[in-house]
Structure 1
Amino acid sequence: MMKNNAKLGAVFSVLGILTGLLFFYLIVVLYNPSIDAHMAIGRADEATSVRITFAVLGWIGTATGAIWAVVFYGFLHKEKWAWFWGAVAATIQLLAGFFPMIPAMDGNLPPSTMVVFILGAILWFGMLFIGGVKKNIIILAFVAGLAYVLTFIDGVAPISKYTTSHNNPFWNGMYVMSQQVSWWGAAAWAIFIFALLKKKSWAIPVGIFAGVMSMIAGYPLGINNALYEVHRFSMFLPAPLLSTGLVIYLLLPGTRKMTERWIAAD
């Protein structure tokens, strides 16, 4: 019922446009109060990470509204590419809606962008169903999506840690170098998802690259945090651990055969 349903796709597109506009409003409203809340509790380092990260997410998250407008046009004209670009927009909205909830709750503010995350999830699955994506591909893309979000989060922590580690030259340098490695890894996971959905033969190599980038940046951060800072399991470890599992899975012959069947399917 949902596959190739252009009318439903157009409805989803309107919802996507509204979600993009809603996010624009919410991130503007949340920006300065989140910074002030962390400053008030003496966490200037976290205020710095909010100042930078919210801006980045605000730019790309707001742009999704424009992408959805293009997708709406595509569905109106029954273009085959419409569902894919809707999936791209929804993938960005998932991240843009999820991460701001964390510093908001840390600052005792309402996690108002949760609604964007929920709508993004509905739109993401909706686009994949309209595109006729197979169940096993959806599952792989979903797990890769978790790695995408977690790896992005691992790139946020070094921003605040950099500001408080000037007395430790090694780790101060580590935070500088690993920050963008994590964000590049997150971007690579997103590209892997897009390549997988578009049936590109180079999807698996991109996924391996994404996973290794997440591992390179995430393991040092997580192990150091677990052993020398919090003395428990570090919340920075899920990204590299999940990425490790995904890399192993992508290297399996069965995974290659699965993607080849997906690429060959009509």
Structure 2
Amino acid sequence: MEKKNLWGGIFASVAALIGLIGHFVLFFQWYVAGMSAESAEPGCEILLKFLHPGLANVGILAAVFFAVSAYGFFTSKSWALLLSTIGIVLALLASWFINVPFMAAGLPPIYFTLFVPYLLFYFLMLKWIGGVSWARVLLALGSGMAYIFCFMNGVSSTSRIVTVGAPLFVLVVGLHWFAMIGWAVFTVGVVIKPKSWLIPLGLVSGMIELFVGFPLAFETGLQLGRFSLFSLAPISCLILVVLLIWPNIFQRLTCLAKK
């Protein structure tokens, strides 16, 4: 067994244990507290009641991917890195966004205790074990952020529909999910095997969020009188779209031959 496969198996095993134990422990300690928080803003109780267990499921699913990936590394399988990449994409989503409604409800962002180790694992697994170039690691990190922000806009729009019923949110809510899925596939593709079709996929995903995200950011910003978190997704997508349409930038970052 190669040394990198051994370390890959160890890292994936640790990540699986972090996800499995961490999500069970944090969920049972904070689920009831989250739903009953007195300082919860409108809509937070919905997120903490339904989204919290949903994201915990995503985190446990990520742990399963890590566990199978560990087996793949220990047995020198070619698909081991792919499963770890899928696992980390799921794990970072599950351990990041749930902190937002927790903080809005006046509770500590306790899931950052999972997010930080997973972020470290992202760099170790892709750069050291997978041998992925820094350019691709950082590009995937950027598209991964867009993926999480699009998810955040989708969830927040759903919450606004339930609590307020604003027509604009009803109109665009489904498109955030399409953008999120597109960026998730883009992120995994950049890490594992960049292909030319990732460019139109990224452009479609980015343009979707530009078309629907900026109107939401503008409207909610006016209502709140401050910077709206709905702005994060379209801003991140704008940066990525510029990178994708700039001549040969994607090819240089991914070492992909021009086609």
**What is the TM-score with the length of structure 1 in the denominator?**
0.87
Unaligned runs of 5+ in 1: 167-171
Please report how far the alpha carbon of residue 4 of structure 1 lies from its aligned counterpart in structure 2 after TM superposition: 7.1
* Aligned-residue CA RMSD (Å): 2.1
Equivalence map 1:42-81=2 (5 Å): 43-81=41-79
- Aligned residue in 2 for 1:135: 134
**Residue type of the alignment partner of 1:202:** W
SS at match of 1:112: coil
**Residue type of the alignment partner of 1:216:** F
Equivalence map 1:114-129=2 (5 Å): 114-129=112-127
- Aligned residue in 1 for 2:238: 244
- Aligned residue in 2 for 1:9: 8
Q: Is the 8 A contact 2:34 2:105 kept in 1?
A: yes
Q: Does the C-alpha gap of structure 1 residues 51 and 7 become closer, same or farther in structure 2, counting only changes over 3 Å? A: same
Deviations 1:226-265 (A, max 9, x none): 12x112222211210120121121012222432662479x
- Aligned residue in 1 for 2:200: 205
CA distance in 1, matches of 2:254, 2:55: 34
**Residue type of the alignment partner of 2:219:** N
**What is the TM-score with the length of structure 2 in the denominator?**
0.89
Deviations 1:84-120 (A, max 9, x none): 2112111211111111212222223232211110111
SS at match of 1:156: helix
Unaligned runs of 5+ in 2: none
Please report how far the alpha carbon of residue 135 of structure 1 lies from its aligned counterpart in structure 2 after TM superposition: 1.3
**Residue type of the alignment partner of 1:188:** G
Q: Does the C-alpha gap of structure 1 residues 65 and 14 become closer, same or farther in structure 2, counting only changes over 3 Å? A: same
Please report how far the alpha carbon of residue 62 of structure 1 lies from its aligned counterpart in structure 2 after TM superposition: 1.0
Q: Please point out which of 237, 248, 255 is paired with 2:249.
A: 255
**Residue type of the alignment partner of 1:218:** G
- Aligned residue in 1 for 2:217: 222
**Residue type of the alignment partner of 2:50:** I
Please report how far the alpha carbon of residue 28 of structure 1 lies from its aligned counterpart in structure 2 after TM superposition: 4.0
CA distance in 1, matches of 2:131, 2:210: 32
CA distance in 2, matches of 1:253, 1:175: 35
Please report how far the alpha carbon of residue 143 of structure 1 lies from its aligned counterpart in structure 2 after TM superposition: 1.2
Percent of matched pairs sharing the same residue: 28
Displaced runs of 4 or more, over 6 A: none
Q: Does the C-alpha gap of structure 1 residues 215 and 47 become closer, same or farther in structure 2, counting only changes over 3 Å? A: same
Q: Is the 8 A contact 2:44 2:105 kept in 1?
A: no
